[in-house]
Amino acid sequence: MAYSITIPFHAVKLRFISGGDVWLPLLDKQALRVGTNLETLAQRYSESLQKELLNGGQFQSILHEYQQGPYEIRKLSVHFKASENRFTHPAFELDFDYILRRVEGRGFWGLIPATGGEAFSLSEEDLEKSLQEVVRLDFSRNHRLIHLQRVVSLIWYDSVEVESTGIKAIFPTPKEQQQSPALQQESWLGKVAFQPRVSRPSTYGREQELQKFARTLKSPYIKNVLLLGPNGVGKTALVKELIRQKAKLGIQEEIWETTASMMIKELSTDMGWQENLSQLCKELKTNKAILFIRNLNELFEVGKYEGNTVSLADYLLPYLSKGEITLIGECTSEEKALIELNSPSYLGHFQLLHLEEPTAMLEEIIVKKVNDIASDQRVELPKDAIEELIRLNRRYTPYAGFPENPSDSWKVYCYIKNPSQKTR
């Protein structure tokens, strides 16, 4: 029987000055990822570790992977002398964030994420000197002092963080390695979906809807939830807020997010998508995971081709009726009517949660959300500008939902606004 353990997984998050993050595993500096989160990165790393090493019996590799913290973030100043001709570049100094780990009884290990350089020394003083030499060697090897843009690529990070979680490692027996090809199969869940990570409030004034949402997911009967409401009313935001407060609300299952187009893209092979979707449903059942599908109506539109009239939604129906998987979906009233037209009994497997546009304190809700977005991007927004945007949205987009529509408009503005006026 296979034996499994959970080992710590550490990842480095590099945050750009202009916003946005870059992630890389602490033990694999080549596996750089943009626009992801810790859970998704850990899932992909775990799958690769399992497939490439553990399934082949290379169990000794786990000793290298098992790295305990804690890790500290320190500053390193590196001085560069002026060029010999005094023309190519003057003398200057750069500051880098580096990660420090104390290895008990052995010494100190350091890593500079911006360059990927690392060093090990018996004392902190020697470690800093070694890291300074590592940086200078990197500059020399990559000719950074000749090409200014190669220097800029190292200093456009605003901050460095180390975040940790756990990944599962499965050790199959020799018999299982020979007889169970299923061990070599990749995880479909990690391919077709991702785990959203929400650190800030996503919605306001929805406490009652949030409590009802959580109660439905914990119900012993129908757990599937369909969020119903106009565009921009905050359906997706409510799901993200549920994810943020998952522990507080007593939801133990992990929530994965996907779309119908992403599912059909990843599940389709030369042999079709049906068998792979079946494997995905087994994974959802085994892992006790919840799948959040944005725009449920799209499930009825993908998967059909000449000779096959079964859509993704039709194929999922037996699993829904047996209660083997749990889905969260969202749609508008018009899309709900189309679903009932295509499959009259389909929505009987869902609990409907209606979301209406807030009538009380609507402006206060929008102002709070916009200020959260601006704070995240370090942009200052005057209150009268937010109120003016609300008025313009009411005037020129009367059919768009509130409070999400003005919030999305400000989100675009905050991402393109240069925050250097406030930060530097």
Separation of alpha carbons 45 and 188, rounded Å: 14
pLDDT reported for residue 261:
92
Contacts of residue 24, Cβ cutoff 8 Å, sequence gap at least 6: 11, 12, 14, 30, 31, 32, 33, 113
365 pLDDT tier (thresholds 50, 70, 90): low
Task: Identify the weakest region by mean pLDDT among 47-51, 96-100, 395-399.
Answer: 395-399
Q: Is 348 exposed, middle or buried (0-12, 13-18, 19+ CB in 10 A)?
A: exposed
Give the pairing type, strands 107-112 and 92-103.
antiparallel
* 152 pLDDT above the threshold of 90: no
Predicted model pTM: 0.59
Quote the pLDDT of residue 56.
77
**Confidence (pLDDT) at 109:** 92
Buried b (16+ CB within 10 A) or exposed e, 160-180: bebbbeebebebbeeeebeee
Going by DSSP bridges, is the β-strand pair 157-171/117-121 parallel, antiparallel, or unpaired?
unpaired
> What whole-number distance in Å separates Cα of residue 358 and Cα of residue 369?
14
* Cis geometry, peptide bond prior to residue 403 (ω within 30 degrees of 0): yes
Higher-scoring residue by pLDDT: 249, 30 = 249
Q: What is the mean pLDDT of residues 216-245?
A: 90
Q: What CA–CA distance (Å, rounded) separates 229 from 405?
A: 14
Task: Report the pLDDT value the prediction gives residue 324, as an integer from 0 to 100.
Answer: 92
Please, what sign has the CA dihedral across residues 97, 101, 137, 126? Answer: positive
With 0-12 CB in 10 A as exposed, 13-18 as middle and 19+ as buried, what is 251? middle
In single-letter form, the type of residue at position 133 comes to E
CA distance 393 to 17: 30
The rounded distance, in Å, linking the Cα atoms of 277 and 128 is 52
Domains of the chain: 1-180 (no CATH), 190-354 (3.40.50.300), 362-423 (no CATH)
What pLDDT, on the 0 to 100 scale, is given for residue 418?
42
Which of helix, strand or coil describes residue 235?
helix
Q: With DSSP H G I counted as helix, E B as strand and the rest as coil, what are the percentages for the chain, rounded to 5?
A: 45, 25, 35
Which strands form 326-331's sheet, in the order they lie side by side? 255-259, 290-294, 326-331, 225-228, 351-354
What pLDDT score was predicted for residue 419? 43
Nearest 10 degrees: Cα torsion 287, 289, 294, 299: 50
For strand 225-228 and strand 157-171, is the pairing parallel, antiparallel, or unpaired?
A: unpaired
Please, how many CA atoms are within 13 Å of residue 247, restricted to the half-sphere of its CB? 2
Using DSSP's 3-state secondary structure scheme, residue 371 falls into helix
Which of 322, 316, 291 is CA-nearest to residue 303? 316
Sign of the dihedral through C-alpha 56, 60, 61, 63: positive
Mean pLDDT (whole number) for 158-177 = 83
Query: What Cα–Cα distance (Å) separates residue 201 from each residue in 193, 198, 228?
Result: 22, 8, 21
Adjacency order of strands within the sheet including 33-34? 33-34, 21-25, 3-16, 157-171
pLDDT at position 114 over 60: yes
Summarize the confidence of residues 151-171 as an average pLDDT: 85
> Which neighbouring-strand residues pair with 93?
79
Nearest to 283 by CA among 243, 312, 326, 246: 326
How crowded is residue 413: how many other Cβ atoms within 10 Å of its Cβ?
17
